[in-house]
Structure 1
Amino acid sequence: MANSSPKYSGVKSSTPSTAISTTTSIKHALKQRTSVPANGNVNVTGKGNGNRVNGNEQGPTIAKTNGILMDKKVANGEHEDSADDNSDMSSGGIEFQDEISRWRNALQPFCPSYSVAFKALFLVRALAATYSNISDCDEVFNFWEPMHYLQYGSGLETWEYSPVYAIRSWAYILVHAVAAEIARLALSANRLQIFFIIRIVLGMVSAHCEATLYRAVVDEVDPRIGRYLLLALLCSAGTWIASNGALLGWPFSAAVGLPFAIEELLIHSRSQSKKKTVRFRDWRRVRFLRLVTSSIAVLGCVLVPIVLIDRYYYKKLVIVPLNIVLYNVFGGDVGPDIFGTEPWWFYILNGLLNFNILFLAAFLSIPVLFITYFTIPEVLPNPPSSTGQLKDPLLLFTLKLSPLYLWMVIFIAQPHKEERFLFVVYPLVCFNAVMTLFLVQKLVQRALDRFVTRSKTAAIHKYSAGLVWVVLIASAAISLSRIVALHEHYSAPIEVYRRAFDLVKVPSLNVVEGSDPSVLSSTASSSPDVIQSTNNQKKQEIVRVCVGKEWYRFPSHYFLPEGAKLGLLKSHFDGLLPGEFEEMAHDEELPPLASRSSAANGKIHHPMRIDWRWSAERRPGTSSVPKTMNNQNKEALEHYTPLEQCQYLVDLDYSGRETTNSKEDLVEPRYLQDVDHWEKLYCKKFLDTTTGAGRNRWVRAFWIPDKFVVALTRGQTKVWGDYCLARRRSV
């Protein structure tokens, strides 16, 4: 079969006529590409994969690119008599190399451009920003609520923002608050719209990073692996969940870059070179100095603004990234473990739920890489940007695959575990997984080559490549089932609060969207739905929307209208709940600063102060020390709101559960059953995971058609609870 393919060698002339003649021959070879089996890899040995050259198992040194047999130097765009890299080339030789380069690019499999990949990813991320749930309450109370406080002057405060502990940075919040304010001013967006705009912006940033990663894999690893990666990023449930989560600026993320820094110091050049331009010690010293200076420069550009902004808001010198590391690593008895621990397999279970087959494949990547290297090293990926064979592919690809392993080892060892801690490496899960699939495909091809005739080799290669797409599509289908289940089973909280923005009625007050919610007109009419309170000797009128056992599903004050605040009711949770940031009325005058006289001329100097809406003086909660906060998760009763002060209520009622205890739960009563005092305004169904088919782990984790649910659970069906917004009835 290979005998019918032309073989090009001995390209000695660098004249234009020879270049044109050789280019014409290459074009002629393209027409006959189907006569040579193709596996998409460069084979420089002329043997294996069922290929024969002139009827021999071992032939002249050739390069096989996408089924076209060419002289190795021609395939690499070189001339046989160009031994000296610094020799001058004629214009014909340059044209020849340009033509060869264009044809080599044409032979690469089709890969979408960065623009196409970004648009596809951004479409999916925008849908996720609109329809995905908030997976962790820490995102709300440590990101959305502080940002709401900066922008509108009210919000819930956690102990991490107390100046005593200061393990959260206001610099990170300020960046997003500025973006939110731009959206408010430019688009006249209300606070609910701002919430989703910021999520879409975060999704856009994720889409850019993922598209950049995809193109880097195409150019620096292998185009086929890049195509597989793009599909995995688009269709995985894990990337759907993590794409708009607020977890940027985390100091532990630096651990992911450690293997790449090692690669910079250990590998001089990816490609084999005939001569070394610098000595070993010289290039390593240059690389090390460059790495150190770049790290210092980046650290200065990032850390200095963070310290300055936090110094302004906390009114004390703090280094928040250092505080985070000290608390999580050296916290001791008051470390993160007091907020709950999980078994070692917690992250493995979450990975299987969100990536299914791909998660298993991701952790087989390095073992499969070693097997491939020691059995058929010629099939390892060879980047299109490389000028020859890789110098040390085992070390190179091991370093590229190791960040995922390093991250998992670090966080599995920590007793305190949260799913969002894995968001950083979710794209790397996809990369490791598709690398495994690519290498397994090559191993299967080589194994089957030994049992089939050469006439069937091309078909075997074609179908084995198709198996990779089958695995990816199957994984995408499972991920789609996971995404649909999350929305259908557990989206009730965010949907109910979305309606609460319109259904919660605040008395007509002269409040401008974007101003402090504490600034309420004194002309407001009295109403039983309004609570009277005092702050800084000013009268404030607030509508309370209360929540009890469902406090951790509150999506933030961006879902409540101006003049409404969340109230926390006592539940069985006996830990520390968030309190409220200290507020200041928008029109309240700031206390005067103390004047001082100059020692030189005795003149009185009046200190300058920037008085703007987001200033530290207008947001005193950024620097004031709350008396009820602690870092030991001890309950603070002052954070609760009496039920009598609640005009609206959000609660979950499982009406389908059988009552096994006739005694009513006095701590968490069934508020929605008290129809004499509460009127349901809007309800959504929420899956009951303790009754009926919801007890089956497959049913509650993935979307399964109802008729299959009945068969899987032996006749049981899903039981739903009512997640409702209720209003207090008028007395």
Structure 2
Amino acid sequence: MNSKAEKEKKGALSCVDYILILLNVSMRVYCGLFMIISDCDETYNYWEPLHFLTRGFGKQTWEYSPEFSIRSYFYLIPYYLITSPLRDYVALTHHEIPPYFYFYFIRVVALSGFTSLCEIVCFKSLRYNISGDVARWFLLISSVSAGMGHASSALLPSSYAMDWVLLGTSFALYSFKGSYINGSHIKYSVLAIISYLTGGIVGWPFALALGVPFGLYTVWVHKKNLVIITLLCGVFTSVLVACIMMVDSFYYKQNYAFVPLNIVLYNIFSKNGEGPEIFGTEPFTYYLRNLLLNFNVSFIAAYIAFLPTLKVNSHKLERIICVMAPIFIWSFVFGFQAHKEERFLYPIYPLIAISAAFFFVDLFGVLSEFVSFKRPVILGKILAAFIITVISCLRIISLVENYSAPLHVAKAVSQLSDFYDQSATINVCTGREWYHFPTSFFLPKNFRLRFVKSSFDGLLPGDFREGVPIQHATSCIPIGMNAKNQFSSDKVVEFEACDLLIDNSIKSNTAVGDPDVWVDDNNLRPEFEIHYSTRMINSAAINGGIGRIIHIPRPFQRLVPTSLEYMNLCVLKIKDDKQKR
């Protein structure tokens, strides 16, 4: 073993290692604070129920109706508990804090922070079990990836599964032959398996498929210790399942409620007109486009990582198979599902970064055999790292600049409490922009999110019952819920009941049911007043050029052809006697 490799095995970090760790932590904090919420499913299926558990009010989707019960409260409990320091601070000091502090605290600490921890654990594992170069490439690609950026800050079971799959892969690398640490391969095999189990059972059941390759490897290689490994993993699984059933049975007031099973049954054995396909279908190329946007050249490298490995006959082949097999399994299974969403790929995002790291290290290793000087290879590494970093960061900036308006608008609403009667319920309404609202964590305690009739003709969320014991609110079957995405009129209020309206500045299309608010683009009717507005890209318009894909710095905008159409997302005041004069 050369001195460099020996130094890495002993755990001594280089200056570059510290820089990459700092980059990772910085990117996760940035994404926790500024990254967009890209999916209304995150808002209404997770942030709103979590807000209900925390503050006593929030929106309720049909998935949380006891009639269907395909969302688990157990998944939300850790995020509720993580806010204990903030709630204790308020209780001890009697000093109210803005409710959105809870939102950002959860995002930075429990979501992005936990992902960062998992990435650093994987960095350490790769560094010990493979090489420092692979570890550094992984941490760079993962840190700057736009996909990892919004996956890390998302309150979604697929993001939760992503973190635990990453931990499982990290532990799995220790268990391979030749990587045993003082004979502790049993420990790491068990840790790997229970990580996959946690990600699948607590997070997303389908993520269990990502642990199958390592499970088969364990059965094949560790025959002598298979009984003890199976026993330990079986005990863990039994305890975990019992805890999940206990929590969800309490909230749904059902005997033996096991939500993960309900999720599988809904997605695979739904009746006609009730499956996930009713929410839209996409071709296979949908995922190809998303992976290119989120990982650029690293996406391509990840899927061909075995090529340079075969060339150099690397001892890392079994490790690469451990990483790449789940990627191909996942891509095949979800690529042929009719209903596709970007978040479905989250569990393999870190595996893509690991696989791409293998590719770049082995590629430059092969190239170094054909050149007599190291300088061209070193320059090639620097250039590749620079291109990946720049493109990825420009993509993240583009997302934040063009799509973060809903967060700014919601924060503006949070600052309006003093303008209204504190004892009155203030209705914050939205119609065609309902899917952009981030979370009720931005609403003052007497503000409520309401929906008005608009061009959207699907099923909108209702409200959790307020002022009753929490178990009663979560266990009663709400009216007007269905699994067919059919509109229910009880989910909307009359426009006259609104005190504030969140809407975009595009001319109102009253022919399809939108409220008559805008006479023309950016031309408001006189009975409304703009309290706050901010720019957001108009996704419905034809936006061309590279400017929609990545951020183009101002000095280069004249050189790069792009055509973007923006609109304003606004908070509109509607005069009412509830407002202070």
Match of 2:538 among 675, 688, 694: 688
Aligned residues: 520
Q: Does structure 1 residue 411 correspond to structure 2 residue 334?
A: yes
Displacement of 1:118 in angstroms is 5.2
Q: Distance in 2 between matches of 1:690 and 1:167?
A: 32
In structure 2, do the counterparts of structure 1 residues 629 and 357 end up closer, same or farther at CA, with 3 Å as the change threshold?
Answer: same
Instruction: Report the residue type matching 1:412 in the other structure.
Output: G
In structure 2, do the counterparts of structure 1 residues 328 and 547 end up closer, same or farther at CA, with 3 Å as the change threshold?
Answer: same
In structure 2, do the counterparts of structure 1 residues 294 and 106 end up closer, same or farther at CA, with 3 Å as the change threshold?
Answer: closer
Match of 1:251 among 196, 199, 205: 205
Q: Distance in 2 between matches of 1:702 and 1:328?
A: 34
In structure 2, do the counterparts of structure 1 residues 153 and 103 end up closer, same or farther at CA, with 3 Å as the change threshold?
Answer: closer
Q: What residue in structure 1 maps to residue 464 of structure 2?
A: 581
Matches within 5 A, 1:550-569: 550-569=433-452
Q: What residue in structure 2 maps to residue 236 of structure 1?
A: 145
Q: Flag the structure with larger Rg.
A: 1
In structure 2, do the counterparts of structure 1 residues 112 and 711 end up closer, same or farther at CA, with 3 Å as the change threshold?
Answer: closer
Q: Is contact 1:153–1:619 with CA below 8 Å preserved after alignment?
A: no
Q: Does structure 1 residue 226 correspond to structure 2 residue 140?
A: no
Q: Is contact 1:584–1:619 with CA below 8 Å preserved after alignment?
A: no
Q: Is contact 2:546–2:560 with CA below 8 Å preserved after alignment?
A: no
Instruction: Report the residue type matching 1:480 in the other structure.
Output: C
Matches within 5 A, 1:345-384: 345-370=285-310, 372=311, 376-377=312-313, 380=314
Match of 1:400 among 323, 331, 345: 323
Q: Is contact 2:425–2:448 with CA below 8 Å preserved after alignment?
A: yes
Q: What residue in structure 2 maps to residue 722 of structure 1?
A: 568
Q: Distance in 2 between matches of 1:724 and 1:423?
A: 32
Paired residue secondary structure (1:725): strand
Q: Deviations over 1:472-501 (max 9, x none)?
A: 220110011111111111111111111110
Q: Does structure 1 residue 652 correspond to structure 2 residue 521?
A: no
Matches within 5 A, 1:16-31: none
Q: Deviations over 1:384-407 (max 9, x none)?
A: xxxxxx5xx433432232222222
Paired residue secondary structure (1:681): strand
Paired residue secondary structure (1:170): coil
Match of 1:309 among 247, 263, 288: 247
Match of 1:443 among 346, 350, 366: 366
Q: What residue in structure 2 maps to residue 196 of structure 1?
A: 104
In structure 2, do the counterparts of structure 1 residues 311 and 263 end up closer, same or farther at CA, with 3 Å as the change threshold?
Answer: same
In structure 2, do the counterparts of structure 1 residues 425 and 314 end up closer, same or farther at CA, with 3 Å as the change threshold?
Answer: same
Instruction: Report the residue type matching 1:417 in the other structure.
Output: K
Q: What residue in structure 1 maps to residue 189 of structure 2?
A: none
Q: Distance in 2 between matches of 1:464 and 1:255?
A: 38
Q: Is contact 1:489–1:686 with CA below 8 Å preserved after alignment?
A: yes
Q: Distance in 2 between matches of 1:178 and 1:109?
A: 34
Q: What residue in structure 1 maps to residue 217 of structure 2?
A: 263
Q: Is contact 1:545–1:565 with CA below 8 Å preserved after alignment?
A: yes
TM-score (norm 1): 0.67
In structure 2, do the counterparts of structure 1 residues 682 and 322 end up closer, same or farther at CA, with 3 Å as the change threshold?
Answer: same
In structure 2, do the counterparts of structure 1 residues 104 and 419 end up closer, same or farther at CA, with 3 Å as the change threshold?
Answer: closer
Q: Is contact 1:239–1:427 with CA below 8 Å preserved after alignment?
A: yes
Q: Is contact 1:551–1:568 with CA below 8 Å preserved after alignment?
A: yes
Q: Distance in 1 between matches of 2:472 and 2:49?
A: 12
Q: Distance in 1 between matches of 2:504 and 2:123?
A: 43
In structure 2, do the counterparts of structure 1 residues 642 and 109 end up closer, same or farther at CA, with 3 Å as the change threshold?
Answer: closer
Q: Deviations over 1:94-152 (max 9, x none)?
A: xxxxxxx9678689994766x87655422221111111100111111111100111122
Share of identical aligned residues, percent?
29
Matches within 5 A, 1:150-189: 150-186=53-89, 189=97
Displacement of 1:252 in angstroms is 1.9
Q: What residue in structure 1 maps to residue 266 of structure 2?
A: 327
Q: Is contact 1:109–1:224 with CA below 8 Å preserved after alignment?
A: no
Q: What residue in structure 2 maps to residue 136 of structure 1?
A: 39
Q: Is contact 1:545–1:564 with CA below 8 Å preserved after alignment?
A: yes
Q: Distance in 1 between matches of 2:74 and 2:8?
A: 48
Instruction: Report the residue type matching 1:683 in the other structure.
Output: S
Paired residue secondary structure (1:582): coil
Q: Is contact 2:320–2:358 with CA below 8 Å preserved after alignment?
A: no
Q: Distance in 1 between matches of 2:30 and 2:62?
A: 33
Q: Distance in 2 between matches of 1:291 and 1:332?
A: 39
TM-score (norm 2): 0.84
Instruction: Report the residue type matching 1:200 in the other structure.
Output: V
Q: Deviations over 1:557-581 (max 9, x none)?
A: 1111110101111122111110111
Q: Is contact 1:441–1:464 with CA below 8 Å preserved after alignment?
A: yes
Q: Distance in 1 between matches of 2:380 and 2:147?
A: 23
Displacement of 1:583 in angstroms is 1.8
Instruction: Report the residue type matching 1:646 in the other structure.
Output: C
Q: Distance in 2 between matches of 1:339 and 1:719?
A: 27
In structure 2, do the counterparts of structure 1 residues 709 and 462 end up closer, same or farther at CA, with 3 Å as the change threshold?
Answer: closer
Q: What residue in structure 1 maps to residue 353 of structure 2?
A: 430
Q: Distance in 1 between matches of 2:411 and 2:122?
A: 35
Q: Is contact 2:8–2:132 with CA below 8 Å preserved after alignment?
A: no
In structure 2, do the counterparts of structure 1 residues 507 and 664 end up closer, same or farther at CA, with 3 Å as the change threshold?
Answer: closer
Q: What residue in structure 1 maps to residue 175 of structure 2?
A: none
Q: Is contact 1:584–1:620 with CA below 8 Å preserved after alignment?
A: no
In structure 2, do the counterparts of structure 1 residues 307 and 111 end up closer, same or farther at CA, with 3 Å as the change threshold?
Answer: farther
Q: What residue in structure 2 maps to residue 125 of structure 1?
A: 28
Displacement of 1:343 in angstroms is 1.0
Q: Distance in 1 between matches of 2:417 and 2:511?
A: 28
> How big is the alpha-carbon RMSD for the aligned residues of Structure 1 and Structure 2?
2.6
Q: Distance in 2 between matches of 1:103 and 1:320?
A: 48
In structure 2, do the counterparts of structure 1 residues 698 and 232 end up closer, same or farther at CA, with 3 Å as the change threshold?
Answer: same
More helix by share: 2
Q: Distance in 2 between matches of 1:341 and 1:438?
A: 38
Q: Distance in 2 between matches of 1:366 and 1:504?
A: 58
Instruction: Report the residue type matching 1:578 in the other structure.
Output: P
Q: Is contact 1:544–1:567 with CA below 8 Å preserved after alignment?
A: yes
Q: Distance in 1 between matches of 2:85 and 2:291?
A: 37
Displacement of 1:180 in angstroms is 2.2
Paired residue secondary structure (1:567): strand
Q: Distance in 1 between matches of 2:366 and 2:547?
A: 36
Q: Is contact 1:259–1:400 with CA below 8 Å preserved after alignment?
A: no
Q: Distance in 2 between matches of 1:228 and 1:724?
A: 42
Q: Deviations over 1:556-610 (max 9, x none)?
A: 111111101011111221111101112225xxxxxxxxxxxxxxxxxxxxxxxxx
Q: What residue in structure 2 maps to residue 211 of structure 1?
A: 120
Q: What residue in structure 2 maps to residue 671 of structure 1?
A: 517
Q: What residue in structure 2 maps to residue 542 of structure 1?
A: 425
In structure 2, do the counterparts of structure 1 residues 116 and 66 end up closer, same or farther at CA, with 3 Å as the change threshold?
Answer: same
Q: Distance in 1 between matches of 2:240 and 2:3?
A: 46
Paired residue secondary structure (1:172): coil
Match of 1:626 among 475, 478, 492: 478
Paired residue secondary structure (1:704): coil
Paired residue secondary structure (2:425): strand
In structure 2, do the counterparts of structure 1 residues 341 and 287 end up closer, same or farther at CA, with 3 Å as the change threshold?
Answer: farther
Paired residue secondary structure (1:679): strand
Q: What residue in structure 2 maps to residue 490 of structure 1?
A: 403
Q: Is contact 2:548–2:564 with CA below 8 Å preserved after alignment?
A: no
Q: Distance in 2 between matches of 1:481 and 1:467?
A: 21
Q: What residue in structure 2 maps to residue 571 of structure 1?
A: 454
Q: Is contact 1:571–1:668 with CA below 8 Å preserved after alignment?
A: yes
Q: Distance in 1 between matches of 2:130 and 2:528?
A: 62
Instruction: Report the residue type matching 1:397 in the other structure.
Output: I
Q: Distance in 1 between matches of 2:10 and 2:249?
A: 56
